[in-house]
Amino acid sequence: MTENNYPATGVTSPAAIQAVLLNNVRPYGEGDPVSVLIRDGKIAEIGDIDTAAAKDAQVIDGKGNVLLPGLVDMHVHLREPGREDTETIETGSNAAAKGGFTAVFTMANTMPVMDQPIIAESVWLKSQHYGVCDVHPVGSITQGLEGKQLTEFGMMANSQAKVRMFSDDGKCVGDPQLMRRAIEYSQGMDVLLAQHAEDVRLTEGAVAHEGAEAAKLGLRGWPRVAEEAIVARDAIMNRDYGGRLHICHASTEGTVDQLRLAKSRGVAVTAEVTPHHLLLTDEVLSSYDGVYRVNPPLRERRDAEALKNALLEGVVDCVATDHAPHGSEEKCVEFEHARPGMLGLETSLAIVAKVFVESGLADWRFVAKVMSEKPAEITRLPGHGRPIAVGEPANLTVVDPDAPWTVHGEELESKSENTPFEDMTFNAQVTHTILRGHVTLSDGEISAPAHGDSAIAQ
Ligand code: DOR
Ligand code: ZN
């Protein structure tokens, strides 16, 4: 580890070139506003800061807004390499910074698949060169996502990209024997396995949650058991063969039951929920708009309620967006032909604030926990999800809790526009994002460091 707990990559971190004085912010939305002085990428002082001591600093007026640790998203798809027409490391980093994120994990279903160290390294190094967000590549569990042969976890874990999570997301590792071997191998390498839980024999041709809505609309149904059966199976395997198992995008009430049981028995399983599964239900499908097609599908009200309560209880550990950009030619087609997936990075904080803070169910500490601390802990990511305290890396997010804004896909930083929240108005808005002392989002504007700031070591 180098300074800032930064993995040694041959790239210097986009460290602060100057100090930043963040005035008038309320850490975790609590207490009176304070000032935060950032130097050399770390929090140098918190409190009443003598402006003479910060003469060289870039000054930001936090306007009494909420200060959170930089958000961490352990599940995004940035489409590079292969589908740079829909998202790239740069545009995905911009979308992440706009959403308040300082670190994201990008899934392996790229073209080519992220099953080799060199592909993972190129993603990681590109993100470090750009310097707006740490983009950690997720390695695939099986070669080519074909579900046949395991990849070399060790080689990817030991590469410059330091791959710490493996997933075939988009596809389930269905073969139980292969999953058993993956769990055993992951335990030996001490890496996280993230499962996209879907028994494909139960979802053939399915495009919507199996229920009254799909029946009414004539859409082929995707039953809850397709997810829950895999969650139960993998939790049992993890119980018996060790490892750290993570369940991607938990979407049903029954998955919550399985997670609760596994956790009560001490199984090392964690899970995430997406903002869209918390806020939306299959009732939106009546428009037949392909923007609402997603895997797993939008479920019913009781599922969304169970997921919300599970996150409050800690049975589901964190929020992850499953940010899945798609071009209009893949989305503006008949529902059955639309590619599954929706944008998430730029709307997630606002949704979590709406569902939990504005409703009075939880406070900003909870938001810090489920959107920063927990994902950093699950992925064992150093330097992120840390307390807002002197000496800690300055990965920070400022949120104005009362700045109503309306979502318009075409105005988003993402290269794609497939947001299911089009025309919805939210109250909370990220105003500033800071990555190791570099202000990556300032009053809503992205600022990439000049390349000299984050130069690749020669
Ligand atoms: O809706 C989804 N889209 N679910 C996935 O698991 C994959 C993702 C994608 O890559 O578009
Ligand atoms: Zn995904």
**Tell me, what's the pLDDT at 18?**
79
Position in ligand 1 atom list of the atom nearest CA 171: 6
Q: Contact at 8 Å (CB) between 374 and 365?
A: no
Distance 189 CA to ligand 2 centre (A): 23
Q: Contact at 8 Å (CB) between 111 and 82?
A: yes
Q: Contact at 8 Å (CB) between 3 and 457?
A: no
The full set of domains in the chain, from first to last, is 14-67+392-446 (2.30.40.10), 70-379 (3.20.20.140)
**Tell me, what's the pLDDT at 104?**
98
For tokens 């918190």, name the residue: 46
* CA angle, residues 299, 370, 283, in degrees to nearest 5: 15
**Tell me, what's the pLDDT at 7?**
45
**Tell me, what's the pLDDT at 94?**
98
- In the structure, ligand 2 is a single-atom ion and the residues with CB under 5 Å from it are 169, 322
Q: Contact at 8 Å (CB) between 153 and 120?
A: no
Mutate to test the pocket of ligand 1, among 294, 343, 345 (most ligand atoms within 8 A of CB): 294
**Tell me, what's the pLDDT at 50?**
85
Distance 6 CA to ligand 2 centre (A): 26
Residues contacting ligand 1 via CB (< 6 Å): 77, 109, 169-170, 196, 294-295, 324, 340-341
**Tell me, what's the pLDDT at 17?**
53
Q: Contact at 8 Å (CB) between 200 and 206?
A: no
**Tell me, what's the pLDDT at 186?**
97
**Tell me, what's the pLDDT at 451?**
61
Tell me the sheet residues that pair with 150: 142
Position in ligand 1 atom list of the atom nearest CA 325: 11
Q: Contact at 8 Å (CB) between 249 and 297?
A: no
**Tell me, what's the pLDDT at 14?**
47
**Tell me, what's the pLDDT at 51?**
82
Q: Contact at 8 Å (CB) between 155 and 168?
A: no
Packing angle, helices 301-313 and 253-264, rounded to 10: 30
- Each residue's pLDDT tens digit in the chain (458 positions)? 333 344 444 444 444 457 999 999 999 999 999 999 999 999 999 999 988 888 999 999 999 999 999 999 999 999 999 999 999 999 999 999 999 999 999 999 999 999 999 999 999 999 999 999 999 999 999 999 999 999 999 999 999 999 999 999 999 999 999 999 999 999 999 999 999 999 999 999 999 999 999 999 999 999 999 999 999 999 999 999 999 999 999 999 999 999 999 999 999 999 999 999 999 999 999 999 999 999 999 999 999 999 999 999 999 999 999 999 999 999 999 999 999 999 999 999 999 999 999 999 999 999 999 999 999 999 999 999 999 999 999 999 999 999 999 999 999 999 999 999 999 999 999 999 999 999 999 999 999 887 645 433 22
Q: Closest Cα partner for 209 from 255, 246, 169?
A: 255
Q: Is 175 a catalytic residue?
A: no
Q: Contact at 8 Å (CB) between 79 and 112?
A: no
**Tell me, what's the pLDDT at 456?**
37
Q: Which two tokens stand for residue 126?
A: 């590109």
Catalytic residue chosen out of the listed positions 322, 363, 443, 453: 322
Cis upstream peptide for 112 (omega within 30°):
yes
Residue type, 120: A
**Tell me, what's the pLDDT at 452?**
45
DSSP structure string for 105-116: EE-S-SSS-S-S
Integer CA distances (angstroms), 196 to 40, 47, 184, 351, in order: 39, 44, 18, 23
Distance CA 306, CA 315 (A): 10
Distance 137 CA to ligand 2 centre (A): 13
Distance 18 CA to ligand 1 centre (A): 40
